Amino acid sequence: MSKKIGYIDESGDKSIHFEKDGVTTFFIVSAIIIDEDSVVQIREEFKKISSYFTQAPEVKSNSKSFRDFDNRINFLKKISTLDFRIYSVIVDKRKIFEDSGLKFRNSFFKYVNGLLDHELYDYYPYLKLVADNHGSEQFMDGFINYVENNHNQTELFRGPEFQFSDSKSEPLIQLADFITGSIAKCYEPGKVEQRSSEILRILNRHILHLREWPENPPKLYRKVENEDESYNQELVDFIFFRINEYVNANQERQEIEIKNQLICLNYLIYRFKIDPYEYIYSDEIIDRIKIRDANFNKRVFSKEIIGNLRENKILILSSQSGYKIPCCKGDLIRFFNNYSSQIMPMIETLRKTNIVIKSATSGNINLLEENNYELLKEMIEVAANSVQK
């Protein structure tokens, strides 16, 4: 597996007193992941693109040049042509201190450090992180200490690497700053705009996971007329309860199959939040699993990922359009119809085959009368009767 470099930045302040004026509600940490062999090329391309949008010596998300939303969107569209991935932890400080019992600042940051360590290194076991030696040093110092004391190292002489650089001389830290600041415009109440959803649509193909914490079941955000297509909050709440149970029970495990299942779940959750009615092609999910498991293939995906998750009572539906977490009765109907369209012809084939066998052997062989096939015989009879009706 090739070495990756992660340029890390944060948005939002570290204060837990979010009720005070000027204190942010969200704390966001993002890592922009780039293949080590592509760093020089992407750095130069980013510098060239930036020169068309700002004459400032450093690209900053909160700079005057990008207060104009159209300018921000156009810049995002240009840099989205570059080859990088995005992983973010997005913390809603209101919910943390209401629900989780994390009353103290140190506990809060320790938990954020744990999320980054568990999930970022699940994607990239061999990752070097680079951070701004001004803005992020305090947070990164805590993260480095956490990793050194808690990280599950897979190889004796190949552990996590860290580096601090000056953002003024490292354009890729500026890229991380701009991406993180743009994501904040989709969450921070004082920064959200009517067109904020455009930001995530532009960045979508780069996003590995936007890890929201605490993880809460999404709420309905668009109206649906057809009754069967109406968003079912009770169904969604139960599914996300099971997902969170599974993630919490397995996030410490080191088996590659489990890590791949968590990557799959994370991506399905992320896409669900963008559009709960959308199906995701398996290739999109597999591409993200291949980041850490290059030999992964579609056959293994169906059996070891989707199959095992379903065995753990996590409801993932499939159709010719792909996979999704269900959000309505219509999703369930399509899933049942999809399997029925495969199962019923098989049952009919068995019925016809048994008739041919009986004819060919003058009735001496009738497998459906044998004890091993009692259930199958009953299914064939029920299917035949339903057709007659």
E strands, the chain, where? 4-11, 26-35, 85-92, 127-132, 161-165, 207-213, 317-319, 322-324
pTM (two decimals)? 0.73
What pLDDT sits at residue 223? 47
What pLDDT sits at residue 101? 53
Query: CA angle at residue 13 from 11 to 17, to 5 degrees?
Result: 140
| Angstrom distance (rounded) from CA 162 to CA 6 | 9
Rg (CA), the chain: 26
Fill in the DSSP letter of residue 369: G
Each domain of the chain, given as residue ranges in start order, spans 4-213, 227-327, 332-388
Burial profile 103-126: b = 16 or more Cβ within 10 angstroms, e = fewer: eeeeebbbbbbbebbbbbbbbbbb
Q: Does the 4-213 domain belong in CATH 3.30.420.10?
A: yes
Q: What is the pLDDT of residues 236-245, one digit of tens each?
A: 999 999 998 9
Burial of 194 (0-12, 13-18, 19+ CB in 10 A): exposed
DSSP for 67-109, please give it.
Answer: SSHHHHHHHHHHHTTS--EEEEEEEEHHHIIIII---SHHHHH
DSSP for 149-215, please give it.
Answer: HH---SSTT---EEEEE-TTT-HHHHHHHHHHHHHHTTT-TTT--TTTHHHHHHHGGGEEEEEEES-
Note the maximum CA span of the chain. Answer: 91
Are 14 and 27 contacting, i.e. CB atoms less than 8 angstroms apart? yes
What pLDDT sits at residue 135? 60
Residues of the chain predicted below pLDDT 70: 1, 97-108, 135-138, 151-159, 216-227, 386-389
What pLDDT sits at residue 305? 93
What pLDDT sits at residue 151? 62
- Using DSSP, how many helices (H) and how many strands (E) does the chain show? 15, 8
What pLDDT sits at residue 362? 76
Look at strands 127-132 and 161-165 and give their pairing: parallel
